[in-house]
Chains A and B, each alone.
Chain A
């Protein structure tokens, strides 16, 4: 690609100028955000630089086992992230497993389908395709699942009286928690619906912009973006549903009891 402009580290340092201005403003206004801003920026720099090295190595080795290992690592990290974002976490391994498992299943199935049936690179698991695609799908599923679970767990903690009132009248656990389950699913779905509706007019999605910057014909970049959007939306929806049903199943028991005792206390102590 002849017109591709490569960046030097000096360019990156210069790009940080505006962040430094924000940091100074934070000190001046007493926001106390300068430390977090710096830590986040450094983390971003280190994580992305490392991932650049990892991807470069994985692409070069083209080993299905090492690619698979990296995928497992991504899934574990996404599971941890979903767990860490919950205000009320399910205690024990379940808390980690339900969100992580739901994402692994939904993102995994969608990514394998996309590569094996639609894009069909050679080999189908080629890390140049699999890893970025999975990363985009997983990142969005992660947001949807953590929003959905957060909403469900909050409701189970705060609305336990309303849910139990229905249980006392002979409702099943699915009937009694139904409205809150539906709220949680909506909460998880809405960001991706909004993203699809607004995309292209104000925001040019990152992936498409990246391809355009790299010199790809915008019409081709758009096709990839549409594919990715559809995959992301599909996988987020499936992931949110699996996680919410799994969570509700764990937060009730087979005698149709509500089990908020399986949730940790709120982090803010409320």
Chain B
């Protein structure tokens, strides 16, 4: 569960919405409307105002690292801080069986980050975020870099996690993606989030 109340950042908002356990809220809107800014603000990566809570956690009441472990952000472009892929995971052995689920080679953990394609990076970054078992996942253009086949695999994995209670807020430009995966669609424009007829 994710409950956002009166969230403002850089003149955007205030945003108020709730995402239930196992629900996926898709946010669409024109480029530059502030969709990524909104996700970063929820993850508390930029200064912002407002109250946000998950089922057992009030953002203001916990340290920021604890909040981000519970509310994980997968940005449109992932960051990497070491040369080897495996270094970026807490438990590489536990991640290995997951590689096939997102269409990656079994050896992917032994690769060098510099050799990865954008799509490979993105899927590894998703596994890295899921490794923490977050309650809420914030996804910024999760499948833009992927072909139809791998997009399907990633969506299946996300749906499986939603069945186990994961809440998702997803920014997407893919017009059909909300219909496949999202319970609700909202439209962000001029700093306002408006409900929209969705799937």
Contacts and interface: CB of A to CB of B under 8 A. Distances in A.
Interface in B118-163: 125, 128-129, 132
A264 interface: no
B97 interface: no
A8 B66 CA distance: 70
B64 A165 contact: no
A256 B47 CA distance: 10
A170 B69 contact: yes
Specify which of B44, B77, B79, B129 lies most central, judged by the most chain A CB atoms within 10 Å of its CB: B79
A168 B66 contact: no
Contacts of A169: 68-69, 72, 128-129, 132
B65 A162 contact: no
Contacts of B47: 253, 255, 257
Interface string B54-92: 000000000111101100111101111100000000000
Contact of B64 (A159, A162, A179, A256): A256
B45 A170 contact: no
A257 B75 contact: no
Contacts of A256: 63-65, 68
Contact of B68 (A162, A163, A170, A258): A170
B77 A161 contact: yes
A172 interface: yes
Contacts of B45: 164, 167-168, 257-258
Given A169-B69, A170-B68, A172-B65, A257 B46 contact: yes
Specify which of A165, A169, A170 lies most central, judged by the most chain B CB atoms within 10 Å of its CB: A169
Given A255-B44, A257-B44, A257-B45, A165 B79 contact: yes
A254 B81 CA distance: 22
B43 interface: yes
Interface string A162-183: 1111111111100010010000
Interface in B19-72: 43-47, 63-66, 68-69, 72
Contacts of A163: 79, 81
A161 B129 CA distance: 15
Given A161-B77, A162-B79, A257-B64, A170 B44 contact: no
B80 A165 contact: yes
A153 to B, nearest CB: 18
A256 B64 CA distance: 6
B123 to A, nearest CB: 15
Contacts of B46: 257
A168 B73 contact: yes
Contacts of B44: 255, 257
A171 B65 contact: yes
B64 A161 contact: no
A168 B75 contact: yes
A233 B75 CA distance: 43
A46 B79 CA distance: 51
Contact of B65 (A164, A165, A170, A179): A170
Interface of B: 43-47, 63-66, 68-69, 72-75, 77-81, 125, 128-129, 132
Given A164-B45, A165-B75, A170-B66, 19 more contacts: A162-B79, A165-B80, A165-B81, A167-B45, A167-B64, A167-B65, A168-B72, A168-B74, A169-B68, A169-B128, A170-B68, A170-B69, A170-B132, A171-B65, A253-B47, A255-B47, A256-B63, A257-B46, A258-B45
Question: Shortest 6 CB-CB distances between A and B: which pairs?
Answer: A165-B79, A161-B79, A170-B69, A162-B81, A256-B64, A255-B64
16 contacts: A162-B79, A164-B45, A164-B75, A165-B75, A165-B79, A166-B81, A167-B68, A168-B43, A168-B45, A168-B75, A168-B129, A172-B65, A255-B47, A256-B64, A257-B47, A257-B64
